[in-house]
Structure 1
Amino acid sequence: MPHYENVRAVLGRAVADGVLGQDRPVAGFIDVQGVRDGVTALHEAFAHVPDVLHAFAAKACPLVPVLRLLADAGMGCEVASPGETRLALAAGFAPERIVLDSPAKTRAEIHEALTLGIALNADNFDELDRIAALRPAGSRSVVGLRVNPQVGAGAIPEMSTATAHSKFGVALDDPGVRERVVEAFGQRPWLTRLHAHVGSQGCPLPLIAGGLATLHRLAGEIDERVGRRQVTSLDLGGGLPVNFADDTVTPTYQDYVRALTDAEPALLDGRYQVVTEFGRALLAKNGFTAAVVEYVKDSGGRRIALTHAGAQVALRTVFMPDAWPVRVTAHGPDGSPKATAPMAQDIAGPLCFAGDLVARARTLPEVAEGDLVVLHDTGAYYFSAPWAYNSLPRPGVYGFANRAGDVSLTTIRTPQTLDEVARESGLSHADALLTASGRTAARVT
């Protein structure tokens, strides 16, 4: 079914079911079959590679039902915090299919990973020493070292992790570092993986492929210098950019594989197990956010639509609109596309600061109170980074299946209640500061 018809059908069902409307003015939606199709496309692109672990980057959508869907579809999981590790285990990923990445792992995190058999990539030489001290005899964990190939930045510097001064990994081209890397492997026979991640959105495929070709060459150099086959796997990270301009999926996983092969023909020849860590590429285009238009007004000759989708659900778009623009479409209260005359409109959120805009002077059909706006391609990172500014509750997220126009919804994340907001904000400790100051709390009735 065409994307716009899918959105229309889902909105109609959401309104009819009461998960979107005046009482629940913002909600997120994830296409269950679309996620499965994305996993299939990923596996097909790498079908010629003998040994691959595709690990979904949990930070892109850390919702247990989504992670469980991905596990069922054959994915592993990449995690970068104790919370993400807990979610991955709860979702049913086997420890050996989990990869722990983080630039600031605590001893407790490292101990847990080594005990359970979770793979981990050390960010720096000091962490390697810490792993060596904590690693139990016979640990099943694959241990790698993250290197920074320092190939430069893409269009969004904040998303580029292989720059000269990146906080991630060991800077391979800095004086003496390559030699230290070789020595680190020579001294630790259990160190068998190399990891690099060049960047994500805004990084062109040749830049990514060039960095990973450097990783492949380094693996061969290590084996030659230590005099044995030591590096057995390469973790290529993720970073496939997403097209946010329209519904076209580009670049594809096939494009990514071709770029890797062009940069280094032997990279995927089977000598090394390959690990990938895609997140945005799998989920972004399989999700959208919908919100109610509460008011419309004019200011300075421009129409402003005040909606319930702002920085609390689209943080990057609001604060970095040029780097993270989203498509917005206008719909009637029943979900049908608006057919009113187009005009330039600001699509504003509900937060109390002037910059809370998800679109500026965007030409859309004129919207009115009670209409709906849709933020497209928000399946990755938008549901995972809610902002609690103004103490707005986190919206519900729903999975949808569309079988020949018959849409069904299932709850992925229950909308947060105001009571839950209060408890999260210290309600059970309401008198704590009065007690600490020696005053008797006055009860509010």
Structure 2
Amino acid sequence: MTRKQKIIQSAINNKIIDNNLTAIGIMDLDRLKLTVNDVYSAFPENFTHTFAVKANALVSVLASLRKYGMGVEVASPGELKISLAAGYSAQDIIFDSPAKTINDLRTCIKNDISLNIDNLQELARIDELMIEFPHTQSIIGFRVNPQIGSGDICSTSTATATSKFGYPLADNNNKQKLVQLYTQRPWLKSIHTHTGSQGCALELMAEGVKVITDLAEEINVTIGKQQIVRLDIGGGLPVNFASEEISPSFKTYADILETQVPILFSGKYQVKTEFGRAIVAKNGMIITRVEYTKSSGNRHIAITHAGAQILTRTAFLPKSWPLRITGFLPTGEQRTDSLSQVVATDVAGPCCFAGDLICNNQLLPKLEPDDYVMVHDTGGYYFSNHFDYNSLPRIGVFAVSGEDDNLKIHNIRKADSLADVLNKM
């Protein structure tokens, strides 16, 4: 029996999921630690690693990542607040957002939180704040858009010619202007790029990193000393949602970077990564109960309690964000083709629109009422996000740790069932 099968059996046997709490998210903290170890083993010591908080903004998960040795990259005041609640200190945080207010900038610079500048108007604000806080320890740099093109998913490609993110390097005379801006500001000590994540080839991501590395070298030569000391290579790895295989691996990405941008591995620069989805996705799962089944147009339909309110990306963009489904009997035994007839199935959620589907026309062992469905690889951007907060019942989130034969499951985000809500009225 696999670890995942034991987790779902434990959740059922301990009545963590039942006819009252009908959808839960689970993070496997032991597997999360192994993933972080894989990151650190793939790169040399001059690399430091931050976690993109937007991928999983649960305090307990962030606190675990802090314990495992990761910093955080935050993209909003809310994410900053959550990270501080998880125990992160200023030197372990970097603030990225294309819409920082003057108060956001002041908070960062006053409190020595590092940040990346998105545009020239933001730079003008920071110029004023640097007069106000001349001794700040914030490491500040520009986010550069290398404008090298898109991956397979446009919405996760951030280095296109018209991307909303960063300073467009290839437009007009922008490269020369940026060199001049750094020359005039000795407190600009970093440079940042983010080519994309899901749907982006590793070679494309490495190309973006090479652009800013070459630019950093040019700036430092122009200044006559190494003013830029940090290269912030944002962007996460794509995740394989088709199987249990972890592909690509962090080591694969490191090898491609070393081939295309060898100076990163020389120790000359501090290099900061900002992995998100690749850290958490495969260490989380959603489990939901099948409430009803029916047939329509010769299609078997299983209605569950997890849909667009939790699996938002998949419901609205199913071709870009397909997910794997595994069915389980009420006892926790996996439904297989030896136990059940395999039929074309729609696994549906509880929301009142036609596109509220976890999967569409997928061949699955026939699901029945009171079965359970496991949705794999959902540890990032699914149950950890805010979208399900207005749903009833709201999904509960649990953490699991321990050896396979001695699993410990504990609640890290409470959810009220509909009955609980009505009883409070």
With the length of structure 2 as denominator, give the TM-score of the two structures.
Answer: 0.95
What letter matches 1:408 in structure 2?
K
Residue 69 in structure 1 maps to residue 31 in structure 2: no
Secondary structure of residue in 1 paired with 2:160: coil
Q: Counterpart in 2 of 1:368? A: 368
**CA separation of 1:31 and 1:388: change in aligned 2, threshold 3 A:** closer
Contact 1:196–1:236 (CA under 8 A) maintained in structure 2: yes
Q: Counterpart in 2 of 1:249? A: 246
Residue 17 in structure 1 maps to residue 19 in structure 2: no
Contact 2:314–2:358 (CA under 8 A) maintained in structure 1: yes
Secondary structure of residue in 2 paired with 1:344: strand
Q: Counterpart in 1 of 2:208? A: 211
User: Where do residues 56-135 of structure 1 align in structure 2 (5 Å cutoff)?
Assistant: 56-135=51-130
Taking the aligned partners of 2:305 and 2:122, their CA distance within structure 1 comes to 44
Taking the aligned partners of 1:167 and 1:406, their CA distance within structure 2 comes to 48
Secondary structure of residue in 2 paired with 1:367: coil
Taking the aligned partners of 2:371 and 2:205, their CA distance within structure 1 comes to 42
Contact 2:57–2:385 (CA under 8 A) maintained in structure 1: no
Once the two structures are TM-superposed, the CA of residue 390 in structure 1 deviates from its matched residue by 7.1
Once the two structures are TM-superposed, the CA of residue 151 in structure 1 deviates from its matched residue by 1.0
Contact 1:203–1:239 (CA under 8 A) maintained in structure 2: no
Once the two structures are TM-superposed, the CA of residue 244 in structure 1 deviates from its matched residue by 0.6
Secondary structure of residue in 1 paired with 2:387: coil
Taking the aligned partners of 1:384 and 1:122, their CA distance within structure 2 comes to 27
Give the one of 253, 257, 261 matched to 2:258. Answer: 261
Taking the aligned partners of 1:404 and 1:243, their CA distance within structure 2 comes to 24
Q: Which moved more, 1:311-320 or 1:401-410?
A: 401-410
Q: Counterpart in 2 of 1:225? A: 222
Contact 1:315–1:386 (CA under 8 A) maintained in structure 2: no
**CA separation of 1:420 and 1:223: change in aligned 2, threshold 3 A:** farther
Taking the aligned partners of 2:90 and 2:393, their CA distance within structure 1 comes to 33
Taking the aligned partners of 2:112 and 2:418, their CA distance within structure 1 comes to 40
Secondary structure of residue in 2 paired with 1:294: strand
What letter matches 1:25 in structure 2?
T
Once the two structures are TM-superposed, the CA of residue 393 in structure 1 deviates from its matched residue by 3.8
Taking the aligned partners of 1:90 and 1:379, their CA distance within structure 2 comes to 20
Once the two structures are TM-superposed, the CA of residue 418 in structure 1 deviates from its matched residue by 5.3
How many residue pairs get matched?
A: 419
What letter matches 1:21 in structure 2?
D
Contact 2:293–2:369 (CA under 8 A) maintained in structure 1: yes
Once the two structures are TM-superposed, the CA of residue 313 in structure 1 deviates from its matched residue by 0.8
Residue 284 in structure 1 maps to residue 300 in structure 2: no
Contact 1:312–1:392 (CA under 8 A) maintained in structure 2: no
Once the two structures are TM-superposed, the CA of residue 230 in structure 1 deviates from its matched residue by 1.0
Taking the aligned partners of 1:399 and 1:377, their CA distance within structure 2 comes to 15
Contact 2:144–2:168 (CA under 8 A) maintained in structure 1: yes
Taking the aligned partners of 2:389 and 2:86, their CA distance within structure 1 comes to 29
Once the two structures are TM-superposed, the CA of residue 132 in structure 1 deviates from its matched residue by 1.7
Taking the aligned partners of 2:419 and 2:273, their CA distance within structure 1 comes to 40
**CA separation of 1:295 and 1:390: change in aligned 2, threshold 3 A:** farther
Secondary structure of residue in 2 paired with 1:56: strand
Once the two structures are TM-superposed, the CA of residue 263 in structure 1 deviates from its matched residue by 1.1
Q: Counterpart in 2 of 1:148? A: 145
Contact 1:351–1:390 (CA under 8 A) maintained in structure 2: no
Contact 1:287–1:376 (CA under 8 A) maintained in structure 2: yes
Once the two structures are TM-superposed, the CA of residue 186 in structure 1 deviates from its matched residue by 1.1
What letter matches 1:222 in structure 2?
I
Contact 2:98–2:165 (CA under 8 A) maintained in structure 1: yes
Taking the aligned partners of 1:153 and 1:93, their CA distance within structure 2 comes to 34
Once the two structures are TM-superposed, the CA of residue 387 in structure 1 deviates from its matched residue by 2.6
Contact 1:28–1:397 (CA under 8 A) maintained in structure 2: yes
Taking the aligned partners of 2:289 and 2:386, their CA distance within structure 1 comes to 18
Q: For residues 192-214 of structure 1, what are the alpha-carbon distances to aligned partners after superposition, in whole Å with 9 as ceiling and x for unaligned?
A: 10000000100010000011011
Q: Counterpart in 1 of 2:49? A: 54
Give the one of 180, 184, 189 matched to 1:187. Answer: 184
Taking the aligned partners of 1:420 and 1:386, their CA distance within structure 2 comes to 20
Contact 1:57–1:278 (CA under 8 A) maintained in structure 2: yes
Residue 333 in structure 1 maps to residue 330 in structure 2: yes
Secondary structure of residue in 2 paired with 1:392: coil
Q: For residues 200-253 of structure 1, what are the alpha-carbon distances to aligned partners after superposition, in whole Å with 9 as ceiling and x for unaligned?
A: 100010000011011100001111222332111000013211111100011111
Contact 2:21–2:417 (CA under 8 A) maintained in structure 1: no
Secondary structure of residue in 2 paired with 1:261: helix
Once the two structures are TM-superposed, the CA of residue 376 in structure 1 deviates from its matched residue by 0.1
Q: For residues 294-317 of structure 1, what are the alpha-carbon distances to aligned partners after superposition, in whole Å with 9 as ceiling and x for unaligned?
A: 000011111100111101110000
Taking the aligned partners of 1:118 and 1:363, their CA distance within structure 2 comes to 50
Once the two structures are TM-superposed, the CA of residue 384 in structure 1 deviates from its matched residue by 2.8
Contact 2:17–2:23 (CA under 8 A) maintained in structure 1: yes
Taking the aligned partners of 1:142 and 1:323, their CA distance within structure 2 comes to 36
Q: For residues 131-175 of structure 1, what are the alpha-carbon distances to aligned partners after superposition, in whole Å with 9 as ceiling and x for unaligned?
A: 121230200110011000111000101100000000000111111
Residue 165 in structure 1 maps to residue 162 in structure 2: yes
Taking the aligned partners of 1:419 and 1:78, their CA distance within structure 2 comes to 38
Taking the aligned partners of 2:101 and 2:333, their CA distance within structure 1 comes to 50
Residue 378 in structure 1 maps to residue 378 in structure 2: yes
Percent of aligned pairs with the same residue? Answer: 43
Secondary structure of residue in 1 paired with 2:407: strand
Q: Counterpart in 2 of 1:310? A: 307
Q: Counterpart in 1 of 2:342? A: 342
Once the two structures are TM-superposed, the CA of residue 394 in structure 1 deviates from its matched residue by 2.6
Secondary structure of residue in 2 paired with 1:192: strand
What letter matches 1:360 in structure 2?
N
**CA separation of 1:179 and 1:243: change in aligned 2, threshold 3 A:** same
Secondary structure of residue in 1 paired with 2:246: coil
What letter matches 1:261 in structure 2?
E
What letter matches 1:361 in structure 2?
N
Once the two structures are TM-superposed, the CA of residue 421 in structure 1 deviates from its matched residue by 7.4
Q: For residues 35-58 of structure 1, what are the alpha-carbon distances to aligned partners after superposition, in whole Å with 9 as ceiling and x for unaligned?
A: 000010100111x3x422211110
**CA separation of 1:248 and 1:391: change in aligned 2, threshold 3 A:** closer
Taking the aligned partners of 2:390 and 2:134, their CA distance within structure 1 comes to 50
Secondary structure of residue in 1 paired with 2:291: strand
Contact 1:6–1:402 (CA under 8 A) maintained in structure 2: no
Q: Counterpart in 1 of 2:39? A: 42
Contact 1:148–1:170 (CA under 8 A) maintained in structure 2: yes
Taking the aligned partners of 1:305 and 1:152, their CA distance within structure 2 comes to 40
